[in-house]
């Protein structure tokens, strides 16, 4: 799971951070203004492509996407072991 966290954190930094803002596994992404609600779609599509999953729209909420840790919890729900 640490690998998943690192992959997601690296994607978030590359995709959304344009200055030297530090992002940890618990940094609030949506409520902290790093990821706006419009841009969540690329994160959702990245996760779906990367982990071969489909995340229903009603599960892809701003709350569920609000930190790397929360995103990992969400992704784990859909990844087939």
Partner 1 sequence: MAYTDKTRGMYEEILTGLKNAGLFKQERFIHSAQAADIEVEFPTGSSLKKVINICANNYLGMSSHPEVVKAAHAGLDSHGYGMSSVRFICGTQDIHRKLEQMVTEFLGTEDTILFPSCMDANAGVFEAVLTKDDVMISDRLVHASIIDGIRLCSAMHDTFKHSDMEHLEEKLQLHNDKRLKMVITDGVFSMDGDTAKLDKMVELCEKYDALLFMDDSHSSGFIGKTGRGTHEKYGVVGKIDIITTTLDKGLGGASGGCVSGRKEIVEMCRQKARPYLFSNTIAPPVVAGVIKVLEILSASTDRRDKLEKNTEFWRKGLIDAGLIIKAGDTPIVPVMLFNAKLAQDVSRDLYAEGIYAIGFFFPVVPQGQARIRTQISAGHEIHHLEKALDAFRKVGKKYDILGKTKQEIIDRYGM
Q: Which residues bind partner 1 (CB under 8 A)?
A: 18, 36, 38-39, 41-42, 45-46, 49
Rounded to the nearest 10°, the torsion over CA 48, 15, 27, 5 is 50
In the complex, the smallest distance separating the C-beta of residue 42 from partner 1, rounded to whole angstroms, is 5
Q: How far is the CB of 41 from partner 1 (least distance, A)?
A: 5
| Closest to partner 1 by CB, 14 or 80 | 14
Q: In the chain, what's the furthest Cα-to-Cα distance? A: 37
Q: How far is the CB of 79 from partner 1 (least distance, A)?
A: 20
């Amino acid at each position: 799971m640490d690998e998943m966290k690192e992959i997601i954190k690296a994607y978030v930094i590359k995709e959304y951070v344009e200055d030297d803002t530090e992002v940890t596994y618990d940094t609030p992404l949506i409520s902290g203004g790093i990821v706006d609600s419009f841009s969540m779609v690329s994160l959702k599509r990245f996760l779906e492509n990367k982990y071969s999953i489909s995340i229903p729209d009603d599960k892809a909420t701003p709350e569920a996407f609000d930190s790397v840790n929360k995103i990992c919890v969400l992704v784990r729900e859909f990844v087939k072991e």
